[in-house]
Chains A and B, each alone.
Chain A
Amino acid sequence: MADFSVLIGGKAGEGINQAASLIAHLLNRLGWRIYVYLDYPSLIRGGHNFAIIRASEKKIAVHRDKIDVLLALNQDTVDLHKHRLKDNSLIVYDSDTVKSKGSGLPLEKMIKEEGGSAIMRNSCIIGAFCRAAGIKQDILEEVFKKHIPREADLNIKIALRGYNETEESLALPAISQAPFSLFTGNEAIGLGLIKAGLKSYIAYPMTPSSGVLHFLAGLSKEFSLKVVHPESEISVILMALGFAYCGEKAAVGTSGGGFCLMNEGLSLAGMAELPVVIVMGQRPGPSTGVPTYTAQADLNFVLNAGHGEFVRLVTAPGDAEEACYWSAVALNIAWKYQIPCFVLTDKTLNEATFSFEASAVDSVKEEPPLLWDKDGDYKRYLNTETGVSPLAFVPRKGAVIKASSYEHDDYGITTEDPATITSSYDKRLRKEKYLAQDLEKYRAVKAYGNPSAECAVVCWGSNKGVCVEAAEKLGLKVIQPLVLSPFPLKQFSEALKGAKKVICVENNATGMLAGLMSARGLKVDKMILKYDGRPFSLDELESRLGEAMR
């Protein structure tokens, strides 16, 4: 398939993220499918930030090692990415600050002459890229107008300066397919939550899930969402449970370190049977780890977090559509079963930009919880067949609604009576059986590639994109569980049928999914693990799969 990668790099603070977004939108407008990988260290100014914008005929969810265009705003970008260049790669660089082969433009001088500010160097270099790639001037203007929040006209003027002083050399074709919307994983999560009836989002900023907070805060007025940023993650989850008690659907977002603080609130949700969605964006740990990079090392933590025993849903979407869909499902299931539900993601998925199919958001809707509609005494924890008690919310005349962190009877009054403890405990745990049955209605495990292949690649979360594309090239089968608790053993075993060799691909050092499989009697022959904070590129996984199959 036709495939094309652009790398833009510079120092933090030079607007690389925004520039990558503009390039993505330009290529999107030509009908290409987009994936953007962002790489940046944890600092505000300086360092080296870069983005790889990959465009392809078909939908993709991974970057490639080699690039076709290098746009360099500083010397590091040229020096650090030499190995990515092909013989015919185009290099456009700021000749005022960078020494390189290729096509140099005096960006500093040009923006000064046009009356722009330093950050507008990236508009100038994008203009040059457009001309080199044969992207028409009106498309450039249209995309800049639509996607630059401030001073679009000046940016266009500066971009056209770069445009006019460059020669066409790439002749990038337009693809005759309609452009998609572009969303990051974080934004897709936000869309899913909104669609499923989210009323409030509470979060303390933490990479890589801060994007959900920013996205929903920006939409709070339009969608009538209460978005709160309190003093700590402890406060975050407790506030969310206060919202849930009042019948308002709430979600929270964090990463490993913040989730550590949420654990007592998580257990409270388990005992008090209060629904909450927790977006858990993984990054390398333990502790602060490598805050702006990626990992999949919190699976065991999330599966086992909180003290005591209680039912939870853990979903691990693999791309933007799945992030949207499963966030909505998580919210619906949280309220249907009155349990905490996780959307377990990682930095790669959270911050990457994808071509997003609208059907993902169309396919979900808000599902009403089981409501109490009777007169007489209200029992918040009525012991039912499914373990799910009908809900009533304050203020409700005639009903006294008592939620409790303590072991309690049907009314919510504290108990230490052994028989009541046992029956209340059983009531809560019974939900898992019904939840597992319910999950049969969902595609909790997906399979891709060659269904009759003897070698199956198993992956979870953001590795879906790279595994599916690599496996298609190599003729393998891919199995991706989207739910990790309750473990969809039936669907998983079904998908695994016929596989003689199973290779697990994960971004952690110990093979957490492989461990989960082994604990359920599912054999894993090999593990391909990567834990340097970087996601697999397509080329890298292809080569490591090749080795593993030998």
Chain B
Amino acid sequence: MSQNDLGTYAVNTWCPGCGNFAILNAVKAILDELRNEGFPLEKVVLVSGIGCHAKIVDYINVNSFYSIHGRVVPVAIGIKLANPDLKVIGFAGDGDAYGEGLEHLIFAAKRNIDITMIIHNNRVYGLTTGQYTPTSPLGFRGRSTPFGTRELPINPLELMLSSGATFLARGYSHGIELLKGIFKEALAHKGFSLVDVLQVCVTFYNMYQYYTRHAYELKDHDPRNYDGALQKIREWDYNKEAPIALGTFYKKEAATFEEPFRDYGAQVDRGSKIRQLLEKNI
């Protein structure tokens, strides 16, 4: 596979109309822009979990690690710590990141490790044929909850803000230019960035009309103001009917977790140091 083309020979198996296409196209466009700006694409590593979203790594011809359900974040952290020069982009579903792997997301935000997480948040389990997720609204009727859920959804952005994330944004799988802009900003951010993408599952939870009716682009919002960001993040709680803001909610500069690891990895004369250690322990 030549890297002139960012696509691969893998047959795309997403449903027609799937919101993942918008994410795929936006990511490819951003990678192409990065390359044209002189950033070597061999320094990009994509990590995915399990679910429809995860197939994205098969469809993009750059380095990738197709991980397991819920574990995108620790793999991405390992890669970033091994080589802080890499640009590590994690893709995860809402079940993946906000359900089974939630602990990792909180710790990644707490550590402010410089990775970008793109969450394909369709608020339903697609590949397992339509069960509720951590962001499904109250009363959601899925195959595991035929009489409706009895729990409120998580507001992932609020959770991430309180966990110490230094970049938080929301995208929508309709309107690729805005999505590209958000991705580009997230990738440029030094520190932990998360983009919650309202990625519509046309088969099991088609929310296009709902989102299009409620979504608006954030304007005149100061992303450096924590309280202002919190207020905007709370405007829609993934449950009640409310305006849904798209764009960057929060952005902050802070020390990143991987930086000190740059100092490690130098070649040392281990033989002589071990001899000293043997001597020390006599």
Contacts and interface: CB of A to CB of B under 8 A. Distances in A.
Interface of A: 28-29, 146, 179-183, 187, 191, 194-195, 199-200, 202, 219-220, 222-226, 228, 230-232, 234-236, 238-243, 245-248, 250, 264-265, 268, 272, 356, 358, 361, 377, 394-406, 408, 411-414
B176 interface: no
Contact of A411 (B1, B55, B274): B1
Interface in B74-121: 74-83, 85-86, 103-104, 107
Given A235-B107, A268-B68, 16 more contacts: A29-B282, A194-B274, A200-B81, A223-B268, A232-B103, A235-B77, A239-B77, A242-B77, A243-B79, A246-B82, A248-B82, A377-B1, A397-B40, A398-B42, A408-B66, A414-B66
A397 B42 contact: yes
Most buried by B among A181, A246, A250, A411: A246
A183 B270 CA distance: 18
Nearest to B281: A181
Contacts of B81: 200, 226, 228, 239, 242-243
Nearest to A202: B78
A238 B278 contact: no
Contacts of A400: 1, 3, 61-63
Interface in B12-51: 40, 42-43, 45, 50
30 contacts: A28-B282, A146-B280, A187-B281, A195-B270, A200-B82, A222-B273, A223-B268, A226-B264, A226-B265, A231-B103, A235-B104, A238-B67, A242-B75, A245-B75, A245-B82, A246-B79, A246-B82, A246-B83, A247-B82, A248-B82, A272-B65, A356-B278, A361-B274, A394-B45, A395-B63, A401-B63, A401-B64, A403-B64, A404-B57, A405-B50
Contact of A245 (B78, B270, B277): B78
Nearest to A28: B282
Contacts of B50: 405
A241 B68 CA distance: 12
Contact of B264 (A224, A238, A408): A224
A498 B45 CA distance: 58
Contacts of A194: 270, 274
B58 interface: yes
Given A235-B74, A246-B83, A414 B278 contact: no
A264 B73 CA distance: 15
A238 B42 contact: no
B52 to A, nearest CB: 12
Interface in B223-282: 261, 263-268, 270-271, 273-275, 277-282
Chain A's interface: helix, strand, loop or mixed, by majority? mixed
Contacts of B264: 220, 224-226
B127 interface: no
Contacts of A226: 81-82, 261, 264-265
A24 B138 CA distance: 65
Contact of A268 (B67, B85, B86, B266): B67
Nearest to A143: B282
B104 A413 contact: no
Contacts of A377: 1
Most buried by A among B10, B64, B103, B107: B64
B67 A405 contact: yes
A270 B53 CA distance: 23
Contacts of A358: 275, 278
Nearest to B61: A400
B107 A199 contact: no
Contacts of A222: 268, 273
A191 B274 contact: yes
